[in-house]
Amino acid sequence: MTGMTGYHHEKDQLLRRLRRVEGQVRGIQRMVDADSYCTEVLTQISATTKALQSVALRLLDDHLGHCVQDAIARGGEDADAKVTEATQAIARLLRA
């Protein structure tokens, strides 16, 4: 898909968050390499998962508020497709 994304106005903030998550994953790798205690590693994995879920929710909010809302305003088949697309994205997030 081309064109302006719903998150374009906060792209820098999202990238900063993702870089933080990347750093957390590297930290987890170091912990495993150093034979850190299992529950300490699991705690860091949980924190990293929550951070990534936070990014996903922000993107979903932007998608609903921009892409889906615009499609609904235009109406027609595109609106139905965007709602279906959003529902499928939500389902994938819930399964994760």
Does residue 17 carry a pLDDT above 60? yes
Q: Is the pTM of this model over 0.85?
A: no
At 27 the pLDDT is 98
Q: What is the pLDDT of residue 1?
A: 45
pLDDT at 4: 62
The pair of structure tokens assigned to 16 is 């900063």
Q: State residue 8's pLDDT score.
A: 82
Residue 72 resides in a domain: yes
Rounded CA gap, 70 and 81, in Å? 12
Q: Quick check: is 68 in a domain? A: yes
pLDDT exceeds cutoff 80 at 94: yes
**Residue 27 counted as domain residue:** no
Q: How many domains does the chain have?
A: 1
Mean pLDDT in residue range 53-62: 94
Q: Rounded to an integer, what distance in angstroms lies between the CA atom of residue 83 and that of residue 48?
A: 29
Q: Which domain holds residue 73?
A: 52-96
